[in-house]
Chain A
């Protein structure tokens, strides 16, 4: 039973979200662009050691001052005078609009998922298209919620752009008409397992973006090599710490995903672990991220190397969704024994 009107509204809501997010992305890009001259100037004029203020959690700090080795002994850095003042008015405006539009886009994505669920009277996580929309939604939610605690306007463009690509793919390559589910998917465990999985993918995604920015910024050094945009980003140490913070929320959620999946597999397939390709990759992802957490505290492993492990983890997530779901033969058909 489907309610075609609702499905149509769901799609309309999705298109609106994409339009709004495109504008939001442009706003964030404008914000970053506006940040550059001021940061360059700050980099030249200010004391080399000017770093992030710990007190007000403001991360927009003067670039140029590198995290000298050893400076990780958290020196109580001089609280920089209201950093927002360094940001030109136009950039601030663009950033503000981008923030509002990001929030609106997220709400529209949520509405789209909810309407689609209503149109088929089930949880809207039953096929590739719906996974794509939900992953985009949760990535945005993670970004918006993390942005409540600290200023993440510099991150906007790097999150919203991939989200738009994901939505584009979902809408073209993976589009599936709204319909009921296969019997094997009719279970509360669908709601529990797949929802938590998608939430953790959202966390891993934002964590991955920050990790990649960290590696890029670290690679080119803080001296100013590499793409200019890197200069608009916070210090490497701050980026690394932020990425880690997201990963340690995502990892227990992924652990839960594995456990819930096993419980469901036992109900639907008779055995809690079957080494089905999807399970194999879920396991690989779990092990790789466990390795990341280990690498981070293993002597002789630098933070950069550890972060590469996290990046590999996210590559595995992409493979799990884009490749395994589509090309690998698994236990997903119930046509016969």
Chain B
């Protein structure tokens, strides 16, 4: 790839030189090694290998539950791999070490090259070699006219072929083109640094938060209102823009017509309708959020990333006082939305005990050998299948998931006869009277919820622009050829004629060089006639 007449082409590795003794020498040696092409190649391959485990092992940043389960299932390997960072590959020190070294190498490689290229672009093509017939591609023709006349047309022919030309003496022309190749290559590598900076910026100043919003409820963009919130290290949640949105309607459609494998029951369309307010007291705007159509809020973008059912459940005590009444989200576990959830009645009952219910919501319920499950994702025949517990809901005040009960401080209720564990099966409108004067539980009806994720990434524009610049650079660098052509004229034996010799120099396997020389000669002949 180097043009061999150019001395000291930095794109080639220098031969490994013996390090001179002393710390400085060692440092220099290390720097040379790091910025050598061979190291870059090694680091690239290493990066590919290092990225691999992240696709094999569950990743905490993607799915905490699966990760925890995996570690629990693999008693020996789990904790060891965990300590080695295999469940957080892309945030692990070794992954970071590889790409940081790669980028140091990149800077160390590209900056000096940029300087060399800057000079090369402003200097003249070098002197023609003595013997053009030694070059890989060469040709000669004899034309009418004096050497001076011919040489003038040679220059014209080369320039019309978009060469830059220079004559170091009266009988030769040196020409070069394709500087954009190197420009493109540098643009590509420098832009990769831009990509990394954009990613880093987004990581430091970006944030994301998720919230489950049942139809009819309102979300206000404050840190406390999120179910989960992960702000970047330099983000202050107090600065969030105070918009609100009320979910007024949620439409879901599932495949019913096509019965084939993997299609029946597949999701077809989800749309969330919200009443959006930029700030408290601002005008209410009607907006929709779709799966591929997020809502720009002005302080983060709201994405529709999930949905499910929130059965409205009411619990009353023996006196008929309402102790719990809420749309309670249940989380879907399979494609037919067999969903799990829990009801926690925090107020203490007669014996100072709290009540809790846990179980399944089934949008299209069946009860067969497999137990209760759903056979279609739409709410065609909804049912709740619950077990009931009494005791302490929050033993030791430990944090727990809203979708499951911590039953370590509770006992499960039995049926009226006391023969078996209590199983409650409710369809919309039904009420079940709990045994032992514990009151009643009612399944009032079912709403859908939208899983909304609000994200803000201030680095994404930089990343995108850099990536596109990298692409442009790449195309330039891969499609353009850097070529040098040298021409020498000499008087022919016949009076008034001139021998023109041309020779071309390019990358070692540039197939088109001969054609290029033909082209130059054709242009030249056209000018001579």
> What residues of chain A have their CB less than 8 Å away from a CB belonging to chain B?
1-2, 54-55, 72-74, 76, 127, 176-184, 186-187, 189, 237, 241, 248, 251-252, 255-256, 258-259, 262-263, 266-277, 280-281, 283-284, 287-288, 290-291, 294-295, 297-301, 309, 316, 324, 328-329, 331, 333-337
Residue of A nearest to B61 (CB): A275
B391 at the interface (CB under 8 A from A): no
Contacts of B451 in A (CB 8 A): 336-337
Q: Is the CB of A329 within 8 A of B66?
A: yes
Q: Which of A54, A252, A316 has the most CB of B within 10 A?
A: A252
Contacts of B291 in A (CB 8 A): 183-184, 186, 268, 334
Given A275-B61, A280-B55, A287-B48, answer yes or no on A335-B467 (Cβ-Cβ < 8 Å). Answer: no
B401 to chain A, nearest CB (A): 12
Residue of B nearest to A285 (CB): B48
Contact of A241 among B62, B212, B457, B509 (CB under 8 A): B509
A328 to chain B, nearest CB (A): 6
Contact of A337 among B12, B292, B308, B475 (CB under 8 A): B308
Contacts of A335 in B (CB 8 A): 267, 332, 334-335, 337, 377
Q: Is the CB of B38 within 8 A of A299?
A: yes
Q: Is the CB of A186 within 8 A of B303?
A: no
A300 to chain B, nearest CB (A): 6
Q: Is the CB of A259 within 8 A of B292?
A: no
Residue of B nearest to A267 (CB): B292
B471 at the interface (CB under 8 A from A): yes
B407 at the interface (CB under 8 A from A): no
Q: Is the CB of A299 within 8 A of B13?
A: yes
Q: How far is the CA of A140 from the CA of B375 in the complex (A)?
A: 42
Q: How far is the CA of A207 from the CA of B199 in the complex (A)?
A: 33
Q: How far is the CA of A310 from the CA of B31 in the complex (A)?
A: 29
Q: How far is the CA of A189 from the CA of B48 in the complex (A)?
A: 26
Contacts of A267 in B (CB 8 A): 292-294
Contact of B136 among A74, A248, A268, A333 (CB under 8 A): A74
Q: How far is the CA of A177 from the CA of B269 in the complex (A)?
A: 19
B249 at the interface (CB under 8 A from A): no
Contact of B463 among A184, A255, A272, A337 (CB under 8 A): A272
Contacts of A184 in B (CB 8 A): 291-292
Contacts of A288 in B (CB 8 A): 45, 48
Q: Is the CB of A252 within 8 A of B471?
A: yes
Residue of B nearest to A281 (CB): B55
Q: How far is the CA of A326 from the CA of B324 in the complex (A)?
A: 44
Q: Is the CB of A298 within 8 A of B255?
A: no
Given A177-B261, A179-B255, A275-B59, answer yes or no on A291-B45 (Cβ-Cβ < 8 Å). Answer: yes
Contacts of B187 in A (CB 8 A): none
Q: Is the CB of B267 within 8 A of A298?
A: no
Contacts of A178 in B (CB 8 A): 258
Contacts of B260 in A (CB 8 A): 176-177, 179
Given A183-B290, A259-B471, A280-B55, answer yes or no on A270-B514 (Cβ-Cβ < 8 Å). Answer: no
Q: Is the CB of B38 within 8 A of A300?
A: yes
B263 at the interface (CB under 8 A from A): yes
Q: Is the CB of B47 within 8 A of A287?
A: yes
Q: Is the CB of A336 within 8 A of B337?
A: yes
Give 16 pairs: A residue, B residue, CB < 8 Å, sorted on A.
A73-B508, A74-B136, A74-B510, A127-B262, A177-B261, A180-B268, A183-B292, A275-B90, A287-B45, A287-B48, A301-B41, A334-B270, A335-B267, A335-B334, A336-B307, A337-B332
Contacts of B55 in A (CB 8 A): 277, 280-281, 324, 328
Q: Is the CB of B339 within 8 A of A336?
A: yes
Given A280-B55, A301-B41, A336-B307, answer yes or no on A54-B511 (Cβ-Cβ < 8 Å). Answer: yes
In chain B, residues 53-111, which have Cβ atoms closer than 8 Å to a Cβ of chain A? 54-56, 58-59, 61-63, 66, 89-90
B300 to chain A, nearest CB (A): 10
In chain B, residues 1-37, which have Cβ atoms closer than 8 Å to a Cβ of chain A? 1, 11-13, 37
Q: Is the CB of A255 within 8 A of B471?
A: yes
Q: Is the CB of B474 within 8 A of A251?
A: yes
Q: Is the CB of A270 within 8 A of B267?
A: no
Contacts of A189 in B (CB 8 A): 292
Q: Is the CB of A287 within 8 A of B464?
A: no
Contact of A291 among B48, B136, B334, B337 (CB under 8 A): B48
Residue of A nearest to B39 (CB): A298
A210 to chain B, nearest CB (A): 15
